[in-house]
Chain A
Amino acid sequence: MPATRVDVITNGVLKNFLMSRMPIKNFAQSNGHGRAQPGLMPTGRQGNLIVSSTLTVKDSELRQKLIDEVKKQGKPYGLYFEDIQGGFTLTQRSMPQAFQVLPVLVWRVYADGRPDELVRGIDIVGTPLAALNRILVTGDKVEIFNGICGAESGQVPVAAAAPAMLFSEIEVQKRAHSLNRPPILPSPADKDNEDKNGKPKP
């Protein structure tokens, strides 16, 4: 099917689905989104997902908006997610409709003007409807993410474009991590730990 532009959500209301030729209730036709990894059966998949906003502030003002919201809620700090490594959503009926996002760079932004503090070991979790209804405002600059998305029909290349977003509330949880010991010997590149015979320094 030829690719077509699809308005999926208009002014916050879900209007359409990304469709392959496999019909679902009330949506009988493909809109050119049947995609698959070589060797698999196509299903309705993302192509270029573009998020636009009618309520924006300049990116430079978003940080102040965050601090204002933190103060309003009487909290010591808010969180700024700078980069994520990926995430996933459960899409099957038998499972809770929940998502998890795996951040890599997360900063605590303090209300009292202390410098931002890098933290680690947390994931964003939640259910899409509850989480996405708490967007207060977005930035004005759209950034593009190119990646590989995996689902029933395999790995397909996708893009997503979205502005920065300020959430009034988001749920995070401690990430499970291993308690494995770090390596016993220092790295062979770590010459500071060795004398010139390769023996450990006292």
Chain B
Amino acid sequence: MKPALLLIGRRILLGLAIVASFLPAAFAQKAVVSDDPVLVAMRAELERSKSRLKMDQVAAPYYIEYRVFDVDQFGAEAAFGALRGDVRTRFRFLRVVVRIGDYKQDSYFGQGQGTLDFMPVDNDSLALQHQLWLATDRAYKAAAEALTAKQAQLKQLTVDQPVDDFAPADPVQSIGPLASLDIDPEPWKKMLQDVSALYKNDPAVENFESNLSFQAANRYFVNSEGTVVRSGETLYTISVAGSTQAADGMRLARDSGYAVASAKELPSAADFTKRATKMLNTLKELRDAPVIDEEYRGPVLFSADASATIFADLVGENVLGRKPELGKNSRTTGTFAASYKSRVLPDFLSVVADPTISTYAGESLLGHYEIDDEGVPAQKVSLIENGSLVNYLMGRAPIRDFPKSNGHARAQVPTGNPMPHNSNLIVSSSHPTPKAEMKKKLTDLCQQRNLPFCFYVETFGGNLTPRLLYKVWTNNGHEELVRGAAFGDLDTRALRNDLVAAGDDFRVSNHPQNIPHSIVAPSILFDELEVKRANQNKEKLPEYPAPSLSN
């Protein structure tokens, strides 16, 4: 049913005003602790709520937190040499969590996980405080309902080894400098247009676009335990993406980009053009490459770049100490839930997560922070020692055997709740093989097994599907690009049992998506993996060619 709906104009306008409003970032300068109006408002309302928030027949809160994300963002995209849009946005989001109960069992469940609202972007303390007041009231009432719902649900379940709901943490006070977006967008818009115009060099390219996102995010956090944290960070990404179709219709897509923490690390126009040109060339090479034919079982070598993707997907996701849903008795939600003190990698590999460092061998890491989003100081955590899982990344929600946070609760800008998340995941080998010898090791293994060729993966596409995959001939080491392949059994079991060597090289792989984090990993060699033909649809080619460039 679609009723014709008549709405008063001003209400619509109000909605638009919230989305479209932005102010220059000039506010973001040397504010002093005591008079940052956002913090003043947060502390004032927290005091009021702490001392006075209480409903009849409902317990007073035992814990209250306020989180404000202040985001200034510039985004632009260009396609086929022309700008497709650019937008500057500025907004503040508020999340209030009120917990009723105690550390053992509380209301953090369902709607008791916080309420969300816009915050005024100017610095009128009373306006800010008013919004906090309303959100706190809603959060408290929601918490009361959530605790009852949780207790009702728990009555239906048997919990073998109960763990607490919330871990105590020492109060922290830290007021960091505010981040601001201080950048002239014009040269960047031109760069996007110029790079996206490179499609003209290859008439068979279908989509070709370039986009950027520059963001300054300031975080404000206060809680009723006395923690007050302010921190700011910037994140700059610029990328290019293209797609084409091979003669048989197979769709081939690639993207490439930069994700850095400071504007000065962004590429020059020449560097960006160079990278885009290289990507465009690989699209052409892929188009001309043969499709993988027979199923293959044998050694596969992964570059450090491809290896970083494997560790991100198969280790990074599984070392998170995320509490399973109510009534589930597993330790975490990942596949390493039952692997504590067990071997998950070969014994020459170790993995740490280290948010306390901002660079690795001179390259910047995106997973750096001083204090996590629950107000717990960042800690270096040794996760896997000589192949054995010894720890998980923890926030303040305990899991079995891990009662305390290790400073890895991170919230997604601008509305997320903190959850255990990666920071900088660093994979190292106790017996690194010189990079130059890795390919030799690969062909030696092939020779031992009388295989005419083996495989080398330079980079992945999505879902652990190889993007740049080379057939390496055993007799002369010749490399030949192939397409249309997938792995049959690239999983945590293969990582534990079939990984036989790691290089002395490394690649810093920065992931700006969702929650910025980094993976540092060496090239790795598996003695056996299955490489098979991907089950991929082949679309028809366009009926007629692209418009002529000569007009």
Contact = CB atoms under 8 A, between A and B. Distances in A.
Interface stretch (B44-52, B211-219, B233-241, B352-360): B44-52
A155 B12 CA distance: 10
Contacts of A58: none
Interface stretch (B126-134, B268-276, B281-289, B461-469): B126-134
B479 interface: no
Interface string A187-201: 111000000001110
A147 B8 contact: yes
Interface in B37-61: 44-45, 47-49, 51-55
A185 B9 contact: no
Contacts of B45: 188
B27 to A, nearest CB: 22
A90 interface: yes
A139 to B, nearest CB: 21
B4 A150 contact: yes
A85 B8 contact: yes
A181 interface: yes
Interface in A140-158: 146-152, 155, 157
A185 B2 contact: no
A178 to B, nearest CB: 12
Contact of B47 (A146, A189, A198): A198
A168 to B, nearest CB: 24
A23 interface: no
A185 B130 contact: no
Interface string B74-108: 00000000000000000000000000000000000
B52 A200 contact: yes
A88 interface: yes
Contact of B49 (A146, A149, A151, A185): A185
B140 to A, nearest CB: 7
Contact of B2 (A87, A151, A187): A151
B164 interface: no
Interface in A82-100: 84-92, 94-95
A148 B3 contact: no
Contact of B7 (A147, A180, A181): A147
A98 to B, nearest CB: 10
- The winner among A88, A181, A188, A199 for most chain B CB atoms within 10 A is A188
A184 interface: yes
Given A91-B3, A147-B8, A149-B6, A187 B48 contact: no
A184 B8 contact: no
A153 B129 CA distance: 40
Contacts, number: 83
B141 interface: yes
Given A147-B9, A183-B137, A188 B3 contact: no
A188 B42 CA distance: 12
A111 B12 CA distance: 38
Interface residues of B, number: 31
Contacts of B4: 88-89, 91, 149-151
A108 to B, nearest CB: 24
A132 to B, nearest CB: 16
A189 to B, nearest CB: 6
B183 to A, nearest CB: 29
B5 interface: yes
- The winner among A87, A88, A148, A189 for most chain B CB atoms within 10 A is A148
Given A90-B1, A198-B47, A185 B133 contact: yes
A146 B7 CA distance: 9
A32 to B, nearest CB: 19
Interface in B103-156: 126, 129-130, 132-134, 136-137, 140-141
- The winner among B44, B48, B49 for most chain A CB atoms within 10 A is B48
Contact of B6 (A88, A181, A184, A199): A88
Contact of A181 (B3, B49, B136, B141): B141
Interface string A57-82: 00000000000000000000000000
Contact of A86 (B1, B6, B52, B54): B6
A84 to B, nearest CB: 8
A28 B444 CA distance: 78
B48 A188 contact: yes
Contacts of B134: 183
Contacts of A84: 8
A124 to B, nearest CB: 13
B3 A90 contact: yes
Nearest to B4: A151
Contacts of A149: 4-7
B416 to A, nearest CB: 26
- The winner among B8, B45, B52, B129 for most chain A CB atoms within 10 A is B8
Interface string A165-185: 000000000000000110111
Given A86-B8, A91-B4, A189 B140 contact: no
A148 B55 contact: no
A147 B5 CA distance: 11
A150 B5 CA distance: 5
Contacts of A152: 2
A180 B134 CA distance: 13
Contacts of A180: 141
A56 to B, nearest CB: 25
A188 B130 CA distance: 6
Given A184-B140, A185-B53, A88 B5 contact: yes
B8 to A, nearest CB: 5
Contacts of B9: 146-148, 157
Contacts of B47: 198
A149 to B, nearest CB: 6
Interface string B1-35: 11111111101100000000000000000000000
Interface string B468-480: 0000000000000
A199 to B, nearest CB: 8
Interface of A: 84-92, 94-95, 146-152, 155, 157, 180-181, 183-185, 187-189, 198-200
Interface of B: 1-9, 11-12, 44-45, 47-49, 51-55, 126, 129-130, 132-134, 136-137, 140-141
Considering the complex of A and B, which 5 residue pairs feature the smallest CB-CB distances, nearest first?
A: A150-B5, A188-B129, A88-B3, A183-B137, A151-B4
Given A88-B6, A184-B55, 12 more contacts: A86-B8, A88-B4, A90-B3, A91-B2, A92-B2, A147-B6, A151-B5, A183-B133, A185-B53, A188-B45, A188-B126, A199-B51
19 contacts: A84-B8, A85-B11, A87-B6, A89-B3, A91-B2, A91-B3, A92-B1, A146-B9, A147-B7, A148-B7, A152-B2, A181-B55, A183-B137, A184-B52, A188-B44, A188-B45, A188-B129, A188-B132, A189-B130
